[in-house]
Amino acid sequence: MLEVDSLDAFYGDSHILQGLGFAVAAGARVAVLGRNGAGKTTLIKSLMNAGPRVAGAIRFDGQPLEKTPAFRRSRLGLSLVPEDRRIFPHLTVEENIAAAMKAVGAPGGQDAIERCFARFPMLGPLRKRFGNQLSGGQQQMLAVARGLAAAPKLLLLDEPTEGLAPIIVDQMARALNAFLDDDGAALLLSEQNLRFARKCARHVYVLDSGRFVFQGDWRAFDANPEIKSRYLAV
Ligand SMILES: Nc1ncnc2c1ncn2[C@@H]1O[C@H](COP(=O)(O)OP(=O)(O)OP(=O)(O)O)[C@@H](O)[C@H]1O
Ligand SMILES: [Mg+2]
């Protein structure tokens, strides 16, 4: 579904991503791990055409995306939950979800909104609360719910668990997995939280200085403990 070849990304003169190649099949769940500054956010933004200057090939459902602006990528079925969340401060929780659905023409109306609240029970009591009245953790939960409400084919999640308590991390993993199981959507997750990544992804890439230094399943990851000590801050 998503195929990436020789992807380079630049901020001005800084060459950040160095010839990345990978693919995410329909329904696959992939984690990109790497320490601060490894290039995780740059990768996710490059896929969405949301910041860095990009060279190389990105195809989605066989279609080249090079010239496709971010809003059109959303309509093709890519949904980005950015590192900085971007919750609308003057809309309620429910309106934030509705707005995300409307922006991409997602089907389902009120039923789909109720499904979101059913999957993310911690958001139910907050549904009439404004975005700027939510805690950081509540905003993160809403951002993930909103990303899924767009009914994507591929959800791009950039470090959704940063700063969350372990019990909330587990709630988020449950809600996310239930949604992905139901919809058959694929996941590309950038993370430093191994516990969450293990719960949600089946295939792992490790990024370091803009290059992949490992790819495999969790069994291969665990069989190479030096990957963890060398490239991840754990
Ligand atoms: N807007 C920007 N302009 C210039 N350089 C940038 C910009 N954003 C990121 N960089 C640089 O690109 C490199 C990769 O950053 P990136 O944000 O992709 O890392 P990351 O893996 O997401 O890190 P973190 O875990 O801290 O979020 C870093 O060296 C960073 O300083
Ligand atoms: Mg980042």
Ligand 2 center to 125 CA (angstroms): 30
The answer to whether position 130 is within a domain reads no
3-state secondary structure of 174: helix
Ligand 1 center to 228 CA (angstroms): 20
Q: Whose CA is nearest to atom 27 of ligand 1?
A: 36
User: 210: Cβ–Cβ under 8 A, 6 or more apart, which residues?
Assistant: 9, 15, 16, 17, 18, 20, 38, 39, 42
Which ligand is the nearest neighbour of the Cα of 192? 1
Which ligand is the nearest neighbour of the Cα of 38? 1
Please give the pLDDT value at position 107.
Answer: 76
Rounded Cα distance between 42 and 50, Å, is 9
Q: Whose CA is nearest to atom 16 of ligand 1?
A: 39
CATH number of the domain that residue 44 is part of: 3.40.50.300
Ligand 2 center to 123 CA (angstroms): 25
Degrees to nearest 5, angle at CA 162 with 230 and 118: 130
Please give the pLDDT value at position 105.
Answer: 82
Cβ contact 180:161 at 8 Å: no
Ligand 1 center to 37 CA (angstroms): 5
* pLDDT tens digit sequence for 61-81: 999 998 898 888 998 999 999
Q: Whose CA is nearest to atom 31 of ligand 1?
A: 37
Domain of residue 16: give its range.
2-86+154-231
The answer to whether position 187 is within a domain reads yes
Average model confidence (pLDDT) for the chain?
Answer: 94
Tokens of residue 37, six digits: 């500054």
The answer to whether position 118 is within a domain reads no
CA–chain centroid gap for 95, Å, is 21
Q: Whose CA is nearest to atom 6 of ligand 1?
A: 11
The answer to whether position 183 is within a domain reads yes
Q: Whose CA is nearest to atom 29 of ligand 1?
A: 37
With 90 as the cut, is the pLDDT of residue 37 above it? yes
The answer to whether position 18 is within a domain reads yes
User: 17: Cβ–Cβ under 8 A, 6 or more apart, which residues?
Assistant: 7, 8, 9, 39, 42, 43, 46, 52, 210
Cβ contact 54:210 at 8 Å: no
Ligand 1 center to 130 CA (angstroms): 30
With 80 as the cut, is the pLDDT of residue 234 above it? no
3-state secondary structure of 154: strand
The answer to whether position 23 is within a domain reads yes
* pLDDT tens digit sequence for 182-216: 999 999 999 999 999 999 999 999 999 999 999 99
Ligand 2 center to 111 CA (angstroms): 33
Give the total number of structural domains in the chain: 1
Q: Whose CA is nearest to atom 18 of ligand 1?
A: 39
Q: What end-to-end distance do the CA atoms of the chain give, in Å? A: 32
The answer to whether position 137 is within a domain reads no
* pLDDT tens digit sequence for 2-28: 999 999 999 999 999 999 999 999 999
* pLDDT tens digit sequence for 108-120: 788 889 989 999 9
With 90 as the cut, is the pLDDT of residue 152 above it? yes
Q: Residues with Cβ within 6 A of ligand 1?
A: 11, 14, 16, 34, 36-42, 83, 159
With 70 as the cut, is the pLDDT of residue 60 above it? yes
The answer to whether position 110 is within a domain reads no
